[in-house]
Structure 1
């Protein structure tokens, strides 16, 4: 066991400054981009603040992550891509004409991200963006971004009620699952990507906060009950920044319903069996087995109350993340956050959750990262020491000492 942990953040965010996307657009879109950018008003305060450059300043980013004890990162999007009203995770379904421009914008982001990752070889796994309105185009973009060196996989958009898109259990997405399984591309589903628009009054914003993770969780049972993992055994799903405390209970619930729905698995004569007609042909195992075979959790700023559940979730399924550079992330107090969550655990378990699992899922080379970890990684003895005092000014929910939220 090395003296220092190799910490890989499985949840970080980045993107280009707005005008810097222009060189990454095909030339035919430049005129439209110039007109759009001239009129665009960014709705995100953090992208207008002094710290916004953390999203695209490679040198600053490396320095701050290293100071936090982090040697590598999985890079989700953050800034607004060309032709979107907001970040693509929550953009409403536009017209067909808008989709043409938005596909161009996402391809521009993916090209920029490939260069951004190449600026720190072996230390960034970029997550490519796609849309689900055109599955053939999505498949092409998965292949292109894999060839371009993006190793973080693909960001799966949500299909919220009212979006007009088929639900994720639909077989229409099979070509996407097939190419991801073929190429070993993880399918990432990030929190906030599947909630329906609720409005902007105080109650709507509060309801969004209560419901948003639940809407993101739905991808798990949609893919399981839709048979995606049966048809594509090599498909990998990662659920990121959705917490982990909900996972054991949901798996128990899914197993319960499966036993009641599927004849031959204890369901004969049950009142629910009529709803499970035909399910056994596409879902041949208990749902929890698919979690352990095909899924993982990007456990951003994992909280202390989640840690005792780690064996039920699966030690090999948990990947810690700092959520850099977001306010709710652990920067610049990641070392303290790790102590708060993982102090007193076996060092081997901590090492898996802090870096080993992410290296396996996203293809990081631990041998390449070892010299960096030897220089900046937090000492094993430091993380094993319980945290007594919360750092002043810490904003991450991991430091909240009140009763844990266990919903969903």
Structure 2
């Protein structure tokens, strides 16, 4: 059968184990994020702190042939029917935990240099967002501007911030200004910046999986209600891997709060929250039928599919089965929007050869 080709708004690169050891002075490299295999868990070290993160069996399951090698990865994509990918970090996610200004600045710079040298310079279908310091906003702005000059199209940010550093606060305004000026999409990936295990009782596996999605909703509510997106109407944000069916729903909820509690609302916005969301907020998903349904049912069109390659939650090995299940009996324009159109609205990858057109 002819493949349904799609672009992925949520994928990942797996960095080499010695990325920071090979690119930073020893005094900094020893404090950069690194992982070791413990007896049962992956052990994560960041600037002298240790975390027992996830079961080794889980880590071992995330190994498609091209997980660490760009050549086989492109073969995997051709096999699966994925054309372009926005590929977030893996170990690079953990730089957001660093509070030391110098270490944070140099760790993200080294990650971006590696991604530029080994990903962006060697292919044009897999693109990575840049990392920026979460320890200092001035450093974050400088690195965003450097990354834009190198050709990065997006910036990764965590969904959870440190206390008193929430995204609605004015401290982030220079970063929003720089991103809008550079045309850089802000990619907030769920499960980043905070503890992903908050409950160990009955149903914990599913409860904790759900808990990773809620901070993505919080990002949207802060950036919309706090006025950042209203002040920067050309700024686009993506909540990656958290589903999309919830987006128009929280738009309705925020509209209600904005109207019914208007005497308390500060700042006043030039548009309703739902209008800002429809114009500037994007979301990606892997398996959610509701994410497809909301496009036609609500008119919220900023939805894009993602393969989450090479992670266990992703679709590697059954991508075509997943896409056919999602888009059976779905109008062609909706399928095209979700599989390719939304991605192409935000990111530039080479045009796909005509013979690879979707069914």
Secondary structure in 2 aligned to 1:238?
Answer: strand
Q: Scaled by the length of structure 2, what TM-score is found?
A: 0.85
> Which of the numbers 293, 301, 305 marks the counterpart of 2:279?
293
Relative to structure 1, is the Cα distance of residues 108 and 260 closer, same or farther in structure 2, using a 3 angstrom cutoff?
same
Where do 5+ consecutive residues of structure 1 fail to align? 82-86, 263-272, 381-408
- Give the Cα–Cα distance (whole angstroms) in 1 for the partners of residues 170 and 291 of structure 2: 34
2:50 aligns with none
Shift of 1:224: 0.7
* 2:267 aligned partner: 279
User: Rg bigger for which structure?
Assistant: 1
Among 335, 350, 365, the alignment partner of 2:335 is 350
1:77-127 per-residue CA deviation (whole Å, 9 max, x = no partner) reads 11x24xxxxx417x64x553xx42233222211111112333553212211
Q: What is the CA deviation profile of residues 36-60 of structure 1, one whole-angstrom value per residue up to 9, with x for unaligned ones?
A: 7899555353556682773320011
- Structure 1 CA distance for aligned equivalents of residues 149 and 207 of structure 2: 41
| Alpha-carbon spacing, 1:357–1:232, altered in 2? closer, same or farther (3 Å) | same
Tell me whether 320-329 or 120-129 shows the greater mean CA deviation: 120-129
**CA spacing shift, 1:333–1:22, aligned 2, 3 Å:** same
Q: Which 5+ residue runs of structure 2 have no aligned equivalent?
A: 44-53
Q: Within 1, Cα distance between the matches of 2:175 and 2:137?
A: 7
- How far did residue 309 of structure 1 move? 1.7
The reply on whether 1:58 has 2:60 as its aligned counterpart is no
Distance 1:328 1:183, change over 3 A: same
Shift of 1:194: 4.8
Matching of residue 337 in structure 1 with residue 322 in structure 2: yes
1:77–1:8 Cα change, 3 Å = same
Paired positions, count: 341
Q: Deviations over 1:247-289 (max 9, x none)?
A: 2221111011111133xxxxxxxxxx2x22x422xx2221001
Would the aligned equivalents of 2:292 and 2:326 in 1 still touch at CA under 8 Å?
Answer: yes
Shift of 1:196: 4.7
**Would you say 1:320 and 2:310 are equivalent positions?**
no
What's the counterpart of residue 49 of structure 2? Answer: none
Superposition pairs of residues 376-387 of structure 1, within 5 angstroms = 379-380=358-359
Alignment of 1:71-82 (within 5 A): 71-78=83-90, 80-81=91-92
Task: Give the alignment's Cα RMSD to 1 decimal.
Answer: 2.8
Tell me how far 1:31 sits from its aligned partner.
4.9
Residue 6 of structure 1 contacts residue 351 of structure 1 at CA under 8 Å; is this kept in 2? no
| Corresponding residue for residue 129 of structure 1 | 131
Q: Could you tell me how far apart the structure 2 residues matched to 1:284 and 1:50 are?
A: 45
Q: Distance in 2 between matches of 1:185 and 1:168?
A: 17
Do residues 369 (structure 1) and 354 (structure 2) align?
Answer: no
| Structure-1 residue corresponding to 2:158 | 157
CA offsets 1:122-159 (integer angstroms, 9 cap, x no match)? 212211112322000000111111112222x1111234
Once the two structures are superposed, the pairs formed by residues 183-262 of structure 1 within 5 Å of their partners are 183-196=182-195, 201-202=200-201, 207-262=207-262
Corresponding residue for residue 29 of structure 2: 33
Kept in 1: contact 2:309–2:316 (CA 8 A): yes
Is contact 1:24-1:108 (8 Å) kept? yes
Contact 2:3 2:81 in 1 (8 A): no
8 Å CA contact 2:169, 2:226 repeated in 1? yes
Q: Which has the higher helix share?
A: 1
